Chain A
Amino acid sequence: MYAVDSPPTPARSPQTPPAQHAKPVRRRSQREARVAWLLSLPTLVILIAMLAYPLYRMIVLSFQNMRLKELFSGATPPWAGFDQYTKALTDGVFWGVVGRTAAFTVVSVSLSVLAGLGIALLMRRVHSKVRIFMMVAMMFVWALPQLVAAQSFRWLTDSDFGVLNYVLTKLGLDYATHSWFVNPWEGWTVITVLVVWAGIPFLAISLSAGLTQVPKELLEAATVDGATPWQALRNITLPILKPLLTIVTTLSVIWNFGLFTQNWALRDGHPEPVYQTLATFSYTQAFGRSNYSYGSAIAVITVLLMLGVMIFYIRQMFKIGEVD
């Protein structure tokens, strides 16, 4: 659902802007513009009604105090000013959730990007049959619905019949009937492994496609001049890969910061306080406790926290010429 998944546009390249076409078009511009707006109208109406308006409602809601009573009666909820925000910002639990979400994002994104890059580089070195095997394996993981992947990890780490405990016990460790979610560090390790495992295919396959853009002559020349493989990687491959690396890292940050499915499913739809992220916290407040306004305030804060990253992403998309 992200723009970066768009198909190639082979007929265009940044070197030849469509200036030749733009001129004659501009002369009939008024009628053109009317048709174009007419064509865009349905999309704009839907986006305004179902995205812009809810966004506005969410902000309004965050300044009110809407509970179950107002939901059933349909009455306008009482105004609460900045109460919901004050409540969140002075609440240690909320800050705990923010810190946890941020820490998880930093750790999981670093691990997945590094692993993805490593696998992409590895794929250049292996035999073509091994490469195909790696690709096929990653494709299956990528294709797996998030929830199915999460359920499979829930089953692997099941305390009684999970294969993980069985294997660890066989290796001589005492892991029989070990519960992985009692200790939050262990639980978060499972969640992180799940997210990194599921994220590697996207990263490795994109980056390995990006690596084909690195001219082999350049690497060869560097080697002839006595560069070590590490120097060639640092001074040639990575700079060429940088725009792509930036995009996939930004996307990973946006995705992982919004973690919901994995901790939700692994904790059976009732994440304990230590397993709450901003997304599940906001959701639980609204739909679990009917605290719709508090949930909205947390959602607004989440969006504000992400805003910088999102602006960066959009600017990057414009910069690399994906948007023309």
Chain B
Amino acid sequence: MARHDEGVVTVGRSRVGTFFANSTGIVFGLVMLFPVYWVLNTAFKPDKEVRSFTPTFWPHEFTLDNFRSALGEELFIPSMINGLIITALAVAAALVVGFLAALAIARFSFYGRRAIILVVLAVQLVPFLALLIPLFLMLQGAGLTNTLVGVALVYLVLLLPYTVWTLRGFISGIPRELDEAAMIDGCTRAQVFWRIILPLTGPGLVATSVYGFIQAWNEFIIINTLNDPKNQNLMAWLLYNQTERGTAWGPLMAGAIITSIPVVIFFLIIQRNIATGLTAGAVKG
């Protein structure tokens, strides 16, 4: 049953089976991509092709009108700017605060360390929407509803546990021997931090902030609950962009593309981290 092709194990493989597997793989990929393709297809069609009972499978008449009309919507650009401000605030704060805690967990052994790890792990599992009611009341009491800072504060908490956890992984990845060698050569702890740990964690900081950006950028329920229509981000705009005639699908899909572009690009940059990180943890034992 087993054949050897250039040292590759081919367990129970036949030509027909391989052909079948390849075909299934291609069909699977096409099916997965179809909704994505349909968003693109719709965004570049004129309205008469979008609102047609016989949909066209590619834009017969290519147009950028939908993008123009999405960008021209009163709240589109303001929502985009709001989203950028909130995301930048939340990610920057999470990075600074989280890095310190990650350093403590990764590089110090102290009483209570496991407890902190447990807290960081556990809070990631709390369904955040459940906390939205008390958070809303708290921010309302502090006069922070309908502000960008209030939303950024909530996003900070949303990102912080993940940030601590991920950076902890990157810092533990730096061999302790490096710290020790530097200290033998006369470095202080602070110098070890500035000269060794910080530069070597660089890629980790990038990956973590990119992931934080994606999380904050994609959020729409919290901001929609806390803020008025004028202080939304793009995702919230996408959810409630309706006209009296129903959904304007062309501009909506164009808006969806504009909103997704930074996320998709960032995601594809860090996907290696996300995919390998998972298995690195789980196949160890």
Question: Which residues of A are in contact with B by a Cβ distance under 8 Å?
Answer: 1-14, 18, 21-22, 25-26, 29, 32-33, 35-37, 39-40, 42-44, 46-47, 50-51, 53-55, 57-58, 61, 71, 74, 119, 122-123, 125-127, 130-131, 133-134, 136-149, 151-156, 158, 160-161, 163, 166, 176, 197, 200-201, 205-206, 209-210, 213, 216-217, 219-220, 223-224, 226, 228-229, 232, 243-244, 247-248, 254, 258, 260-261, 264-265, 268-269, 279, 282-283, 286-287, 292, 295-296, 299-300, 302-303, 306, 310, 313-314, 317, 319-324
- Subset of 7 A-B contacts with CB under 8 Å: A5-B211, A37-B104, A46-B157, A130-B22, A147-B238, A152-B256, A287-B133
Asked if A166 contacts B55 (CB within 8 A), the reply is yes
Closest 10 CB pairs of A and B: A8-B280, A299-B130, A143-B267, A36-B108, A57-B134, A43-B101, A33-B110, A137-B29, A39-B104, A54-B134
Chain A residues with CB under 8 A of B225:
287
Contact B129 A1 (CB under 8 A): no
A-B CB contacts (within 8 Å), total count: 382
Q: What are the interface flags for B263-278 relative to A under an 8 Å C-beta threshold, 1 for contact and 0 otherwise?
A: 1100110010111111
Q: How far is the CA of A31 from the CA of B29 in the complex (A)?
A: 56
Nearest chain B CB to A154 CB, angstrom units: 8
Closest to A200 in B: B32
| Cα-based distance from A43 to B102 in the complex (angstroms) | 10
Complex alpha-carbon distance, A282 and B136, angstroms = 14
**In the complex, are the beta carbons of A42 and B101 less than 8 A apart?**
yes
Instruction: Assess whether A209 is in contact with B275, with CB atoms less than 8 Å apart.
Output: yes
Nearest chain A residue, comparing its CB with the CB of B123? A51
Q: A6-B169, A244-B283 are in contact. List 19 more A-B contacts (CB 8 A).
A: A1-B215, A4-B281, A5-B162, A8-B281, A9-B172, A43-B100, A44-B119, A58-B130, A71-B137, A74-B141, A125-B17, A125-B21, A155-B253, A206-B279, A232-B11, A269-B240, A283-B132, A292-B137, A319-B285
Q: How far is the CB of B268 from chain A (nearest CB, A)?
A: 6
- Chain A: CB-nearest residue to B36: A140
Q: A7-B277, A206-B275 are in contact. Are A286 and B21 (CB under 8 A)?
A: no
B71 at interface, CB cutoff 8 A: no
Q: Are A141 and B160 in contact (CB under 8 A)?
A: no
CB distance from B91 to the nearest CB of A (A): 13
What's the nearest-Cβ distance from chain B to residue A129, in Å? 9
**B-chain residues with CB within 8 Å of residue A7 when the two chains form the complex:** 166, 169-170, 173, 204, 207, 273, 276-277, 280
Which residues of chain A come closer than 8 Å to B100, judged between CB atoms?
A: 39-40, 42-43
**Is residue B197 within 8 Å, beta carbon to beta carbon, of the partner chain?**
no
Q: How far is the CA of A137 from the CA of B22 in the complex (A)?
A: 15
**Distance between Cα atoms of A155 and B38 in the complex (Å):** 9
CB-based contact B278/A4 at 8 Å: yes
Measured CA separation A133–B121 after assembly (Å): 35
Given that A3-B124, A50-B154, A282-B129 are contacting pairs, would A152 and B39 also be in contact in the complex, using a CB cutoff of 8 Å? Answer: yes
CA distance A216 to B7 in the complex (A): 11
Contact flags B158-197 to A (C-beta < 8 A → 1, else 0): 1111101110111011111000000000000100000000
Residue in B closest to A125 when the chains form the complex, CB atoms: B21
Closest to A285 in B: B133
Name B's interface SS.
helix
Asked if B121 and A314 make an inter-chain contact with CB atoms under 8 angstroms apart, the answer reads yes
Cβ 8 A contact of A310, one of B55, B122, B156, B211: B122
CB-CB under 8 A from B243, the residues of chain A are none
A220 to B26, CA, bound (A): 27
Contacts of B98 in A (CB 8 A): 43
Task: Report the separation of the CA atoms of residues A216 and B10 in the bound assembly, to the nearest whole angstrom.
Answer: 10
Q: How far is the CA of A213 from the CA of B130 in the complex (A)?
A: 38
Task: Flag if A286 contacts B133 (CB, 8 Å).
Answer: yes
A292 nearest CB neighbor, chain B only: B133
Contact present for A33 and B111 (CB under 8 Å): yes
Q: Could you tell me which B residues sit within 8 Å of A by CB distance?
A: 1-2, 9, 11-13, 17-18, 21-22, 24-26, 28-30, 32-33, 35-36, 38-39, 42, 50-55, 97-98, 100-101, 103-105, 108-114, 116-127, 129-138, 140-141, 153-154, 156-162, 164-166, 168-170, 172-176, 189, 204, 207, 211, 215, 217-218, 220-221, 225, 235, 238-240, 242, 247, 249, 252-253, 256, 259-260, 263-264, 267-268, 271, 273-285
Contact of A2 among B30, B124, B247 (CB under 8 A): B124
A269 adjacent to B263 (CB under 8 Å): no
Instruction: Report how far A139 CA is from B2 CA in the complex, Å.
Output: 33
Instruction: State how many angstroms separate the Cβ of A271 from the closest Cβ of chain B.
Output: 13
Distance (Å) between the CB of A197 and the closest chain B CB? 7
CB-CB under 8 A from A140, the residues of chain B are 32-33, 36, 264
A323 touches B121 (CB 8 A): yes
Q: Which residues of B contact A125 (CB under 8 A)?
A: 13, 17-18, 21
Chain B residues with CB under 8 A of A143? 260, 263-264, 267-268, 271
Q: Which residues of B contact A149 (CB under 8 A)?
A: 35
Interchain nearest-CB distance for A292 vs B (Å): 6
- A313 and B125 within 8 A (CB): yes
Query: Please, which residue of chain A has its CB at the minimum distance from the CB of B265?
Result: A143
Contacts of B268 in A (CB 8 A): 139, 143
Smallest CB–CB gap between A200 and chain B, Å? 7
- Name the A residues within 8 Å of B127 (CB-CB): 258, 279, 299, 302-303, 306
